[in-house]
Each structure stands twice: as structure tokens, then as C-alpha cells.
Amino acid sequence: MSTEPAKTLDTFPNPAPERDFHIHMEIPEFTCLCPKTGQPDFATLLLDYVPDQSCVELKSLKLYIWSFRNIGCFHEAVTNRILDDLVGATRPRYMKLTARFYVRGGIFTTVVAEHRKAGWIPEAAIELATFAGQSSVRG
């Protein structure tokens, strides 16, 4: 097992490319450095995507995220850079990265960046609700 950060994002073939499905990942240990002070910034990253032909491999994602630990980055720049790198590696139908940075100077910062594949039309969402043990499906 590698113990070094890496900028490489590995992928694997989407096991169900014929359908849209949603992958959600929570990455609670993101760190980088403030480019002004050099102090550490901490964030939880929320990655949501609909894959096309490939999915991101988790170990490589972990090592990639780790590679920012000693790099000075503005919140907005690092969020967009990570999204761009993930989109470049996986070419998803849709991807959204939400970066929730912890308080710094009394201010919480959340940055949201999205990508949509040209021409992709998402399927209608289905909302499942449970009321007193009953399920209902709405289209």
C-alpha cells in the first residue's frame, strides 16, 4: 500500500454504463494551506457524480486528495482544480464537488462547482418518501 500522496487519478470501467446512477462520496479529511498565512485549512468534500464510461478508483482518490496537504490554495481555486482533474480522469455525465471549509477568522466557506457533459439530459428524478411505514413513488 502506498504511503505517499499522488496526483494520479485511476479509474475503472463503469459496471452499468447503460443507466444513470448516482455515486456519492464524503471526504472529511481534506487539508491544504492558506496561501496568505501558510496555516492549514480543513474541509469536508462532498463528491456527487453520474458516471459515463468510467468511475474513479477510491485509493487513488485518497492519495490524490492527500497531495494537497502542503500546497497553498484559495478555497475557490482548489475546489475547481479538483473538479477539473476528476472530470478529466472520468469524463462523467454529471459531477458536482461541494467543499465545506471549516471556520477561519469567524467565516465558514462553502464552494460548489459543477460539470455537465454536453448533450446529457438527466432522467427524471424519483422521490421516495416513507410515511408511517408506507412508501410512495413519485415521478
Domain CATH number, residue 104: 3.30.1130.10
The number of helices, as runs of H, and strands, as runs of E, in the chain is: 2, 8
Residues of the domain holding 32: 11-138
Q: Is 6 inside any structural domain?
A: no
pLDDT digits (tens, 9 = 90+) for 60-101: 999 999 999 999 999 999 999 999 999 999 999 999 999 999
Q: Which grid cell is 109? A: 466557506
* Residue 60 located in a structural domain: yes
Q: Tell me: the pLDDT tens digits for 26-56?
A: 999 999 999 999 999 999 999 999 999 999 9
Q: Look at the chain and report how many structural domains it folds into.
A: 1
Q: Report the alpha-carbon distance of residue 90 to residue 21 in Å, rounded.
A: 15
Q: Within 13 A of 59's CA, how many CA atoms are on the CB side?
A: 5
Q: Is residue 1 part of a domain?
A: no
Q: Report the catalytic residues.
A: 34, 41
Please indicate, yes or no, if residue 16 is contained in any of the structural domains: yes
Q: What pLDDT, on the 0 to 100 scale, is given for residue 109?
A: 95
70 occurs within a structural domain:
yes
